[in-house]
Amino acid sequence: MSLVRSAATVLAKELRVELRTHDLTNTVFFFVLMIAGLFSFAFSPTASESRRILPGLIWMAFFFAGTLMLQLCFVREQTNDTLAALRLAPIDPFAILLGKILANFAFLAATEIVFVPIFSVFYNVSVGDVIGQLLLVLFLGTFGLAVVGTVFSAMSAQARMRELLLPLLLLPVLAPVLIAGVEATSELLAAGHSVGRVWLSMLAGFDLIFTTATWLLSGYLVEE
Amino acid sequence: MKLGKTAWNLAWWAVAIALAVAGYTIFFVAPRELTMGSIQRIFYFHASTGISAYLCFFLSFLASIGYLASRQPRWDWMAVSTAEVGLAFDTVVLITGPIWAKPVWGTWWVWDARLTLAFIVELLYIAYLLLRRLSTEIDRRALISAVFGIFAFLDVPLAYFSVRWWRTEHPGPVIAGGPNNGLDPRMWHVFAFTWLALLALMILMIRDRYRLEAMRQKVNDWKAEEELGLDVAEGKEVTQ
């Protein structure tokens, strides 16, 4: 089977599991909703302040939601002991990771599509004009989060205190994504209509470098 | 190691003396900087520690690749030794930076590009050590920490460019920064000497840390053998 086809099979399996249980999406949706409210209580921002803090808030909310969600992606395989079956499958190990990366990306992207308008209403910042570019920036950053997060989830699945470990590994590595994402989002919300090419290429570069690294190291990640 | 114990002890003494001499030259040989005054003298120590820290992380990155390629435990020992020494050096950078910044910039901490980078790198390698600490099985630990070591180091240039575009207040590169830039020759000599002394210190620290890791492995092996031996003596069924 070709890489694309086997990755698509893994992706379809992940989506099917999720559509049956709704574990991940329910948790993540509730988590982001809660953050959106709690931050407003904590800072009770005025209109101009919201414009300033909203980019950082959106990114932090999705980052934490992402780390919360990614923990489950390999633990779920472990509890059902299905990882061995995946390993035995005659497919490229990168296909397993890629399928999972795409699934995690899809869950987070869906959350973003739902919650960007909600954030916009809660914080009274209009995003209608820039929604396309805003989603592009968010998706580029989220793909980086999904790549690195899936890899680290595979790594930490067998460690002690893995629930604690994953965010500790993931968040420092994501620092460049956070900086680039927040800056790009601020530019969009403040000046509007255009986003600096520098930040877009930083996000795309991050995705490219870590996807390549994952591809090169996938053999080691999936082995027992 | 081929060198005997005495030779290594001598090396430690030599480094200690070299560092003391470096301290002397920093204060009494290097000229006083025109605008910053004596506080600039911390630069010799700060910059050379910084360079050595990044060198350590680079070595750790190479050792991680070496482990994945060869699966020899000694590469794993090398990766953890260099990462730990690098972290210690980076901590010195994070402490000496604010001491310099307070009189010159007026505040202890600024989210300046290089300071932020040093901070992010510190977080990355603390995470690396935490990962090792929380991984239980030795082979698995070596494998996943090698992967993390590679990911962490790949992140350094990205972090560098993101914080640089984000903000920078740090003095620009003085050493190779253009025609009207640069160090007084005497400053150069003091800097080079300090850096060499710190480099020697770094090598000795890595070597000792590496030996410690090798001994740990040996003790673990003995313990495993002992347990196995006891099981045999008591006539239990030996698993594995």
The neighbour count for residue A194, using CB atoms within 10 Å, is 10
Question: Residue A22 and residue B97: Cα distance in Å, rounded?
Answer: 49
Mean pLDDT for the stretch of residues A93-101: 92
The residue with tokens 């990366």 is: A101
Q: Alpha-carbon torsion B44, B49, B52, B53, what sign?
A: negative
Substitution target in A137, A153, A155 with the highest count of B β-carbons within 10 Å is: A155
B148–A206: do the CB atoms touch at under 8 Å?
Answer: no
Query: Over 60: is that where the pLDDT of A188 sits?
Result: yes
What is the DSSP annotation of chain B?
A: --S-HHHHHHHHHHHHHHHHHHHHHHHHTSPPBTTTBGGGGHHHHHHHHHHHHHHHHHHHHHHHHHHHHH--HHHHHHHHHHHHHHHHHHHHHHHHHHHHHHHHHSSS----HHHHHHHHHHHHHHHHHHHHHH--SHHHHHHHHHHHHHHHHHHHHHHHHHHHHH---SPPPSTTS-TT----HHHHHHHHHHHHHHHHHHHHHHHHHHHHHHHHHHHHHHHHHHHHHHHHHTTPPPP-
Query: Over 70: is that where the pLDDT of B196 sits?
Result: yes
Condensed to tens digits (0 to 9), the pLDDT of residues A111-120 reads 999 999 999 8
Residues of B in Cβ contact (< 8 Å) with A151: 147, 151
Taking CA atoms, A46 is separated from A128, A134, A202, B32, in Å, by 20, 22, 31, 50
Amino acid at residue number A36: A
A217–B150: do the CB atoms touch at under 8 Å?
Answer: yes
Mean pLDDT for the stretch of residues A198-214: 94
Nearest Cα residue to B151 out of B79, B237, B46: B79
B131–A180: do the CB atoms touch at under 8 Å?
Answer: no
A22: left (phi over 0), alpha (psi -120 to 50) or beta: left
Q: Give the pLDDT score at A61.
A: 94
Mean pLDDT for the stretch of residues A118-131: 86
Shortest distance, CA A46 to any CA of chain B (angstroms): 25
Confidence of residue B139 (pLDDT cuts 50, 70, 90): confident
Quick one: how many helices (H) and strands (E) in chain A?
9, 0
Per DSSP, the three-state class of A209 is helix
Q: What is the pTM of this model?
A: 0.88
The domain tally of chain A equals: 1
Nearest Cα residue to B47 out of B26, B16, B76, B31: B26
Condensed to tens digits (0 to 9), the pLDDT of residues B197-228 reads 999 999 999 999 999 999 999 998 898 888 88
Nearest Cα residue to B207 out of B86, B82, B91, B90: B82
Give the chain B residue nearest A206 (alpha carbons).
B158
Shortest distance, CA B52 to any CA of chain A (angstroms): 21
Condensed to tens digits (0 to 9), the pLDDT of residues B144-156 reads 999 999 999 999 9
Taking CA atoms, A172 is separated from A86, A145, A165, A167, B122, in Å, by 30, 11, 12, 9, 9
- The half-sphere exposure of B86 on its side-chain side, counting CA atoms within 13 A, is 28
Angle at B66 between CA B60 and CA B72, to 5 degrees: 110
Per DSSP, the three-state class of A161 is coil
* Residues constituting chain A: 224
Query: Over 90: is that where the pLDDT of A198 sits?
Result: no
Q: How far is CA A109 from the centre of its chain?
A: 7
Least confident of A185-189, B103-107, B179-183: B179-183
Give the chain B residue nearest A167 (alpha carbons).
B127
Q: Give the pLDDT score at A159.
A: 78
Question: Residue B56 and residue B222: Cα distance in Å, rounded?
Answer: 31
The neighbour count for residue A56, using CB atoms within 10 Å, is 16
| CB nearest A165 (choices: B123, B134, B150) | B134
A159–B155: do the CB atoms touch at under 8 Å?
Answer: no
Question: Residue A63 and residue B54: Cα distance in Å, rounded?
Answer: 28
- pLDDT-above-90 percentage for chain A: 50
- The half-sphere exposure of A99 on its side-chain side, counting CA atoms within 13 A, is 24
Terminal C-alpha separation, chain A: 22
Q: Give the pLDDT score at B240.
A: 46
Least confident of A26-30, A46-50, B132-136: A46-50
User: Which domain, by its residues, includes A148?
Assistant: 3-222
Query: Over 90: is that where the pLDDT of B82 sits?
Result: yes
Q: B9 CB contacts (<8 Å, ≥6 apart)?
A: none
Substitution target in A217, A218, A222 with the highest count of B β-carbons within 10 Å is: A217
Question: Residue A206 and residue B154: Cα distance in Å, rounded?
Answer: 9
Least confident of A174-188, B20-34, B64-78: B20-34
Taking CA atoms, A148 is separated from A166, B80, B144, in Å, by 11, 21, 13
